[in-house]
Amino acid sequence: MKIIVVGHGMVGHKFLEELHHLQLPRLNVTVLCEEPRAAYDRVHLSEFFSGKTAEDLSLVAPGFFEESGFTLRLASRAVAIERRQNTVTTADGEVLSYDKLVLATGSIPFVPSVPGRNRAHCFVYRTIDDLEAMRACGAKSKTGVVVGGGLLGLECAKALRDLGLETHVVEFAPRLMAVQVDDGGGKVLRGKIEALGVHVHTGRNTVEITDGAGARHRMVFADGTWLETDMIVFSAGIRPQDALARQSALALGPRGGVAVDNHCRSADHHIYAIGECASWNEQLFGLVAPGYEMARVAARHLAGQTDAAFEGADMSSKLKLMGVDVASIGDAQGLTPRSRCFQYVDELKQVYKKIVVNESGSRLLGAVLVGNADEFGTLLQMARGGIALPDDPEFLILPSSDGKAQPGLGVDTLPDTAQICSCNNVTKSQICAAVSDGASTIAEMKACTKAGASCGGCVPLVTQVMKAEMAKRGMAVNNHVCEHFVYSRQEIYHLVRVGNIKTFDELLTRHGQGLGCDICKPVAASVLASVWNEFVLTPQLAKLQDSNDYFLGNLQKDGSYSVVPRMPGGEVTPDGLIAVGQVAKKYGLYTKVTGGARVDMFGARLEQLPLIWEELIAAGFESGHAYGKSLRTVKSCVGSAWCRYGVDDSVGLAVELEHRYKGLRAPHKIKFGVSGCTRECAEAQGKDVGVIATGKGWNLYVCGNGGMKPRHAELLASDLSKPELVALIDRFLMFYVRTADRLQRTSTWRENLEGGLDYLKGVLLNDALGLNAELEQQMQAVVDSYQCEWRSAVTDPAVRQRFKSFVNSERPDEHIVFVQERGQIRPARSDERRTDPSLAA
């Protein structure tokens, strides 16, 4: 069967995934994509301005097209359908035939027909190309106006604000988000948005755009007032992209869009339409979840599952607009005859909550939540499942007093068929099945079910369902460190801190059992170091250290160690380099420049380590902590000192940061990067902590990673002064140290953090937990108690005498055997040892 799909957006790609999943034989699928790039996540488009790249936003799994055999044609626009011939014509004039045609052309932005709308520096907000054009213009603008105060308009306002512009929102209706929220909600939302520095103008009808006096444009309103701005973005709603249907005389819906039946078929049964370009039951759906559902229905129907049917979708949604929670469920406006409502308004905290119930108060019909949408998951399930309401439904939205729990909805009461993630249609039973297949973290759950992987609104509920199921299976949400402690790493941290515990023996006696093991001992060692920062090789602490920490070097496969002196920021003097070279030469070590921009020396035997360190210390070096779960390196570019593009002193800052955080023991290693300009030569956005100079200060990115599972770091705060930056990094690192699991890098920690980046921002920027002063204080204590561990080891005779291969012999370990390669040593392979006995040391 020859299938042509027109449009490769979120819904188009979902259709392809579903189709591929069905594994139909003899399928020939061609996808025509008008844009120059494959499907990307339009829901999170504004993140393009807070650090995400087009690649980050891509929805196409690596190898998808190779594996499925589907053909994707980028920058290929369909211009006509010839229904009698079953062909599609592309803009290049090529004619392609089909057995089935799927239209997934989405929407086009609606631009009100205001004179002057086509002036330069006027944009729409739909594609990455649009965003790139906005970014280029934003760099040369001071002010920006978004026309449209709906959902997309506010997203767009966030984008303008992220570009550093003075931002205005101009809305025709008397309130923001007129479709989703009522007057009360609109008022609270407006207060919150204005508090963020965005100017809101409601009830404004733009009649003309002309040249401005103090800026590029002047927008003139019907009431005679005007507003001047350098750029304008129209985000006043969307219209279905149904040009092909109009051209080929396919039946349309009353408000446009291809009219489709329950199987997503148009009037021509060879043609399906899905997503925003389809009109079902005279309704258009501008959300991704119904579009995904249509994609599933169309794919199944094409595969011969004739019972696959689209049954409509409710337009409930939960969003975070500029950090403000906004949720709308079902009949939010209370339009159902004889419905009644409960409202709660807190003008101080700017929270607005309303529920709409039926006449008898037994069923939930709708809800509006602004400022705090914690109840969204519960309320949605109640509205959807038609679950009977408690006797006093007002308590569903009233803040709890006296610590009494709200009359929630235990996840156990949800039926197996309850849809938990509406974007990806994941039910409770599928989440439970994934738990039985071994998923036990939210990241694993996302990977195997896609629950929570699109808009993320359901993540708290997914987590609840997952944990309840794990508890039921006796997996008991077991984040216990090991058999010796029925506590998580985070809990052990608190036991140590609150209980003033300074040794493992005390921890084990008071809170554990058995002898401990190779899991809990390093955890305890790390926690004790983070909290008290004593020398790791004291008699009480030494026995807890993993081999690397015990010998302050990196154990290699043959039993030898590597030695890495610290070179802060990657900066090293010629004398320093010479000293390193001389030491390496004297002890016959293999040398290599590491990815962290310093020199690693390999092949040292245990008994050589103190001698090597002494020589390095004498040359002014100290331990690089390459062996520790601790700060490794702060990579930097040369910055403004040398580079013609640099806008700030990145090396200077890198050196300062490396000195500040060196020696901090953490759940896993930590890497930093500092770039002197936006060209990002230090690759800071691939690091746990990334800092980029902006000209107005420093941008701080966090939780990036290279390695096995690359993750782009996310922007935590912009244009920080150096003291602000340092305080924020202090908090970030200490919060990570306190709350992460063992061996959890910041990236995985962040992936598993309930509430995600917004939660992290709440804690670190708005002090949501009231912890910030304490976090900074703790970090300062660690900084103040730093010591070079090599120096401490070589100067303590009791410690130093442990550094030998044999307790009763000075002879070197004959298992460590080297051969020459490219002018240096490397460990001999087993075959090389066997065939050449003369290689023995």
Contact call for residue 550 and another protein (CB under 8 A): yes
Contact call for residue 562 and another protein (CB under 8 A): no
Contact call for residue 831 and another protein (CB under 8 A): no
Cβ-based nearer residue to another protein, 414 or 816: 816
Contact call for residue 551 and another protein (CB under 8 A): yes
547: helix, coil or strand? helix
Q: How far is the CB of 623 from another protein (least distance, A)?
A: 19
Cβ-based nearer residue to another protein, 173 or 825: 825
- Backbone φ and ψ for 668, nearest 5 degrees, come out as -155, 180
Of positions 315, 345, 555, 617, contacts another protein by CB under 8 A: 555
Which residue spans within 711-777 are E strands per DSSP? 714-720
Contact call for residue 211 and another protein (CB under 8 A): no
Of positions 85, 547, 678, 780, contacts another protein by CB under 8 A: 547
Rounded CA gap, 754 and 471, in Å? 18
Quick one: which H or E segment has residue 426? strand 426-427
Stretch that binds another protein, among 240-248, 312-320, 557-565, 696-704 (CB under 8 A): 557-565
Rounded CA gap, 270 and 11, in Å? 19
Cβ-based nearer residue to another protein, 172 or 485: 485
Of positions 84, 404, 557, 822, contacts another protein by CB under 8 A: 557
Cβ-based nearer residue to another protein, 375 or 789: 789
Cβ-based nearer residue to another protein, 225 or 801: 801
* x/- letters, 496..525, toward another protein (CB under 8 A): ------------------xxxxx-xxx---
Count of C-beta atoms within a 10 Å radius of residue 679: 12
114's tokens = 């205001």
Q: How far is the CB of 541 from another protein (least distance, A)?
A: 10
Of positions 802, 824, 826, 832, contacts another protein by CB under 8 A: 802
Count of C-beta atoms within a 10 Å radius of residue 835: 10
Nearest to 624 by CA among 633, 615, 611, 613: 633
Q: How far is the CB of 559 from another protein (least distance, A)?
A: 4
Using an 8 Å Cβ cutoff, are 6 and 47 in contact? no
For residue 370, what are the contacts with CB-CB under 8 A and spacing of at least 6? 181, 185, 188, 189, 192, 324, 325, 326, 327, 351, 352, 353
For residue 178, what are the contacts with CB-CB under 8 A and spacing of at least 6? 149, 150, 171, 186
Which residue spans within 24-138 are E strands per DSSP? 28-32, 71-73, 78-82, 87-90, 95-97, 100-103, 107-109, 122-124
Contact call for residue 642 and another protein (CB under 8 A): no
Cα–Cα distance list, 414 to 312, 379, 427, 464 (Å): 22, 12, 10, 12
Q: How far is the CB of 816 from another protein (least distance, A)?
A: 8
Cβ-based nearer residue to another protein, 366 or 522: 522
Stretch that binds another protein, among 109-117, 303-311, 335-343, 802-810 (CB under 8 A): 802-810
Using an 8 Å Cβ cutoff, are 715 and 50 in contact? yes
Q: How far is the CB of 522 from another protein (least distance, A)?
A: 7
Termini Cα distance of the chain:
69
Cβ-based nearer residue to another protein, 118 or 809: 809
Cβ-based nearer residue to another protein, 220 or 508: 508
* x/- letters, 525..544, toward another protein (CB under 8 A): --------------x--xxx
Cβ-based nearer residue to another protein, 516 or 673: 516
Quick one: which H or E segment has residue 777? helix 772-784
Rounded CA gap, 748 and 728, in Å? 20
Q: How far is the CB of 624 from another protein (least distance, A)?
A: 20
Beta bridge partners of 123: 233
| 804-823 binders of another protein (CB under 8 A) | 805-809, 811, 813, 815-816
Range 596-615 burial, b when 16+ CB lie within 10 A, else e: bbbbbbbbbbbebbbebbbb
Stretch that binds another protein, among 110-118, 263-271, 801-809, 818-826 (CB under 8 A): 801-809
* x/- letters, 757..796, toward another protein (CB under 8 A): ----------------------------------------
Contact call for residue 404 and another protein (CB under 8 A): no
Q: How many residues in total does the chain contain?
A: 841
Of positions 166, 228, 314, 558, contacts another protein by CB under 8 A: 558
Cβ-based nearer residue to another protein, 642 or 806: 806
Cβ-based nearer residue to another protein, 324 or 501: 501
Rounded CA gap, 791 and 693, in Å? 35
Cβ-based nearer residue to another protein, 405 or 515: 515
Q: How far is the CB of 797 from another protein (least distance, A)?
A: 13
Cβ-based nearer residue to another protein, 384 or 802: 802
Q: How far is the CB of 589 from another protein (least distance, A)?
A: 18
Cβ-based nearer residue to another protein, 269 or 510: 510
Q: Please name the residue that has the structure tokens 């029925």.
A: 486
Nearest to 737 by CA among 623, 635, 629: 629
Q: How far is the CB of 807 from another protein (least distance, A)?
A: 4
What are the strands of the beta sheet with 689-693, ordered from one edge? 631-636, 670-675, 689-693, 698-702, 714-720
Q: Total binding residues for another protein by CB under 8 A?
A: 35
Cβ-based nearer residue to another protein, 459 or 794: 794
Q: How far is the CB of 815 from another protein (least distance, A)?
A: 4
Cα–Cα distance list, 537 to 608, 729, 743 (Å): 18, 28, 21
Of positions 67, 132, 437, 483, contacts another protein by CB under 8 A: 483
Beta bridge partners of 330: 366
Cβ-based nearer residue to another protein, 112 or 812: 812
Q: How far is the CB of 606 from another protein (least distance, A)?
A: 8
Nearest to 380 by CA among 424, 422, 429, 431: 422
Residues of this chain that bind another protein (CB under 8 A)? 483-484, 514-518, 520-522, 539, 542-544, 546-548, 550-551, 555, 557-559, 801-802, 805-809, 811, 813, 815-816, 830
